[in-house]
Amino acid sequence: MKILIHPDAERAADCVAELIAARLRTEPATNLGLATGGTMEAVYARLIAAYRGGQVSFAGATSFNLDEYVGLPPDHPCSYWRYMREHLFDHVDLTDTHLPHGDAADAEVEAARYEAAIVAAGDIGLQLLGLGANGHIGFNEPTSSLSSLTRIKTLTRSTREANARYFERFEDVPRHAITMGIGTIMRADEVVLLAYGAGKVDAVAAMIEGPVSAACPASVLQMHRKVTVVIDEAAAKGLKLRAYYDEVHPDGGEALL
């Protein structure tokens, strides 16, 4: 794992936006795996600015989002379809976009269709991930199979509480989501995970330095060939090998060697 520690969330978001833009410049036809959530808003804002400044184009790219709530139609104000339109799709030249349909008549059939669509597209080139405070990636909650494919997951109470800020009432937060599986994510060519803030400190430590375990689904990334973890000071506080990461990538910069 490449561990890049930045002084603050702003610099960490700059770094992730640049990693995505760099990939699109060298490989315009990349299949991007995209995430939602509070963490990604700063990344998408930077990508929109870069697009407007002529520094990046998404015209050749295809995107597949990680997840969607079961039961929410694409135009629901709290759906991830809506989030993606508001935070990215409506502002850049990315047109070939995919998310699971939360309002499909049969969510299991929809999950299988979505997995097949990712495979048919040749799998994900660059997968962007956030990190749940409980160690989830996508909506693969603790105890998820480490080889799972896209399917329905029941959300933990803590995940529903964390996401309740987007809904009027806690009871409105759906109990289920369609999510790419951990096996789906692990097939990506390259993974970039962004986490910042003190709320992620335990999950970051477990992901990077803990045992590989379904108790912290993100820890499976230790088995991936090309992962960049971008974090800020606050999220890095629990790392035991901090001095080593600083030595390899001072100030979150590129490797010395």
Note if 87 is an active site residue. Answer: no
Note if 247 is an active site residue. Answer: no
Phi then psi dihedrals of residue 36, to 5 deg: -115, -165
User: Does 130 help bind ligand F6R (rule: CB under 6 A)?
Assistant: yes
User: Does 151 help bind ligand F6R (rule: CB under 6 A)?
Assistant: no
Give the separation between CA 163 and CA 134, rounded to whole angstroms: 13
Q: What is the DSSP string of 187-207?
A: TSSEEEEEE-SGGGHHHHHHH
**Contact pick of 7, 8, 28, 38 for ligand F6R (by CB under 6 A):** 38
Tokens for 18? 């640049």
**Contact pick of 138, 174, 181, 217 for ligand F6R (by CB under 6 A):** 138
Give the separation between CA 29 and CA 216, rounded to whole angstroms: 32
Note if 134 is an active site residue. Answer: yes
What are the C-alpha distances in Å from 111 to residues 2, 54, 88, 106, 117?
A: 31, 36, 23, 9, 10
Note if 106 is an active site residue. Answer: no
**Contact pick of 102, 132, 174, 217 for ligand F6R (by CB under 6 A):** 132
Q: Which is nearer to ligand F6R, 131 or 206 (CB)?
A: 131
User: Does 102 help bind ligand F6R (rule: CB under 6 A)?
Assistant: no
Cβ-in-10-Å burial (0-12, 13-18, 19+) of 120 comes to exposed
**Contact pick of 4, 21, 24, 36 for ligand F6R (by CB under 6 A):** 36
Task: Report the interface residues with ligand F6R, using CB under 6 A.
Answer: 35-39, 66-67, 130-132, 136-139
| Active site members | 67, 134, 136, 141
